[in-house]
Amino acid sequence: MATSVLPHIGSLAGKIAIVTGSSSGLGRAISLAYAASGASVVCADLSPNAPESSPGPRIPTHELLNAQSANGKPRSIFVECDMTKAASVEATVARAVQEFGRLDIMVNNAGILAEAKAGKVFPRIQDTPESVWDADMAVNGKGVWLGCKYAIAQMLRQEPWGGPTGDRGWVINMCSIVGLVGFSGTSCYSATKGAVLQMTKAVALECAKDRIHVNCINPGFTDTNMLAPLKAEHGTEKAESMLAALHPWGRMGRMEDIAKMAVFLAGDGAGWCTGGAYVVDGGYTAQ
């Protein structure tokens, strides 16, 4: 019986990635995980600095990655990027190519929960300002679409990554469990994540013949700065306990839980994966 050696599913050695929303939360965790797996990372965000309410060290993500470089060679740069503006997203992709020569991985992670700033966290639809819809859709919907658009255009222009499969690129969109099931008080946010889910499937079908993988990650409630307004409203301990109880696993998600999936989806282990929604939710959607 013939045998074969399985690829190292966690290796991203030599690949060039853009991670949007990289200055804090999931974007920062994914950037760190990618660098640890061998990738060079373009950190894209409105600012290199994390929000004041974010936990952890204040050093910008790209500076942290470069400080951790084993050979002292810069492995990361920061690019100011507004994901709601086409010219800004296009320029970010161009900067990645200028610095590193190509683009292999695009992580469309930047997102907001505008409902959290609507006066009361998780407002009912009749109490939700129209501005919340516009803000959520601009970043979570249009921003992901623009990220896909310009990353894929570059992936089609360059030579394939290599190997017998001729893979040209990996696009990973950050979705949510509320892109799969409902959650009261998130009518606008849920709509954007439903859009990301279906967009991912449509783009995956368009790009399959080009060997560009397009998948999305659907996290459960994860302990990031996005939950800060809920903690402020209910108190940290009560909010964390309430959210943990929603998940059969008995805890909220940790940023590294999501980062590990992002590494998998950009590696050889996901070689036959495209158009998928990868749930990382401690059993939430199994209920």
Which residue numbers are catalytic? Answer: 189
The CA distance from 113 to 174, in Å, is 13
280, β-bridge pairs: 219
- The answer to whether 10 and 37 are in contact (CB under 8 A) is yes
Q: What is the CA radius of gyration of the chain?
A: 18
The CA distance from 42 to 96, in Å, is 6
The CA distance from 34 to 63, in Å, is 15
The CA distance from 47 to 74, in Å, is 19
What backbone phi and psi angles, to 5 degrees, belong to 170? -135, 120
Q: What angle do CA 107, 205, 221 make, to 5 degrees?
A: 40
Distance of CA 214 to the CA centre of its chain: 12
Residue that has been written with the tokens 């407002």 in this structure: 123
What backbone phi and psi angles, to 5 degrees, belong to 237? -65, -45
The CA distance from 15 to 7, in Å, is 16
164 by DSSP, 3-state: which? coil
Give start and end residues of each alpha helix (H) in 137-247.
Answer: 143-157, 187-207, 228-234, 236-245
**Residues near 272 by Cβ (< 8 Å), separated by ≥ 6?**
none
